[in-house]
Amino acid sequence: MASRTIKTSTPLEPYKQGETAIEGQKDIIKLSSNELPYPPSPLALQAFVDAQAYLSRYPDGSQLALRDAISKIHGISTSNIFAGNGSEEAIGLVIRSVLSPGDEMIISENSFKMAEIYASSVGAKITKCPERDFRVDVQAILAAITEDTKIVYLCSPNNPTGTYTRKTELFHLETQLPKDVILILDAAYAEFVGEPDYDSGLALFSPHGRVVVTRTFSKAYGLAAQRVGWAAAPDNIIDAVACIRTPFNTNTAAQNAATAAVLDQSYLKEMVARIQKTRDAFIEELRNLGLTVVPSQANFVLIIFSPHSTDVPALDAALKAHGILGRPASESAHEFRLSIGTDDEMAKTISVIRKWVQTPRKEQK
């Protein structure tokens, strides 16, 4: 059956953040924002502390040390890297530097909401393409392209599904796009993928090409509080972004911590392995309870309930009653997302969910 393309033209709405508190409770388990539940690299912590010696000075606007470190690890020229206040800002800078009123950006039905907000804010049109089995449908994206299309934006792994786009699919998409269309690949959760047929998009990157890859230190590196991310962008995008990027958009502590973190790859691999092990065990536990869980390659899982059921608010209430914050998926009333916490946090969470599943719905309060 041919894929449908759903076009939307909705007014701007603010981004809805994951909840951070439960009224009347102090000690909560926060599984609502896909953060790392462990501290960042000790080297990053020390670099953060060392930044206190420079508090009276502006940050390095060129971000040179951080860009050099990223270049060393990922093999991208320093001149094709820029950092942002989270990868969110990097995405926004690229979108704002490319799109004009009336231009079109194509996205998959599950995507980072801020990309839509940035595109809408400059008067661009947004085309959403439906997915197949919670996976990005590359053919639907290609079929949706029009003469107004200027950007295709794709998340892999995607949020809130946790599914990824295979390397062969990415390569096919890039080769079939019209030459003047920019391909933004949001790889915020790339570090958590353990599949051999995955690529964040860096294999497609060229200084003279049209692929932009964004990455973040907020997830696997555990630096969410510092709000620092980066993009690998072609020469023409780098030049365009430079015209609108604020002079000091990443602070000194963030740059220092991120520089140390990216160079400490052994610590990163240790944290990723812990999350992957906990994630896979948690998914198995959920499925053993008869729940439907989307296969995830990120640091979160998505539980699917029957359409029109009241299971999502009921589960949300049951978890909150025990001090656990998850996140109902904003685009669907029958999907519920849980970040992966520590083993102890997930053990408590599965215990609450088990009791909820085993209690007849009419008895649940």
Q: Give 263-280 pLDDT, tens digit per residue.
A: 999 999 999 999 999 999
- What is the residue whose two structure tokens read 């990455």? 215
- Give 48-103 pLDDT, tens digit per residue: 999 999 999 999 999 999 999 999 999 999 999 999 999 999 999 999 999 999 99
Buried b or exposed e, range 18-42, using 16+ CB within 10 angstroms: ebeebeeeeebbbbbbbbbbeebbe
Of residues 330 and 270, more confidently modeled: 270
Mean confidence (pLDDT) of the chain: 93
Whether pLDDT at 17 is above 80? no
Whats the size of the chain, residue-wise?
365
Whether pLDDT at 35 is above 70? yes
User: Which of 111-115, 266-270, 310-314 has the least mean pLDDT?
Assistant: 111-115
Instruction: Read off the amino acid at residue 35.
Output: E
Confidence of residue 365 (pLDDT cuts 50, 70, 90): very low
- Give 208-250 pLDDT, tens digit per residue: 999 999 999 999 999 999 999 999 999 999 999 999 999 999 9
Task: Give the DSSP H/E element, type plus range, for residue 107.
Answer: strand 104-108
* Domains of the chain, start order: 18-38+266-363 (3.90.1150.10), 43-263 (3.40.640.10)
Cα–Cα–Cα angle for 8, 10, 15, rounded to 5 degrees = 115
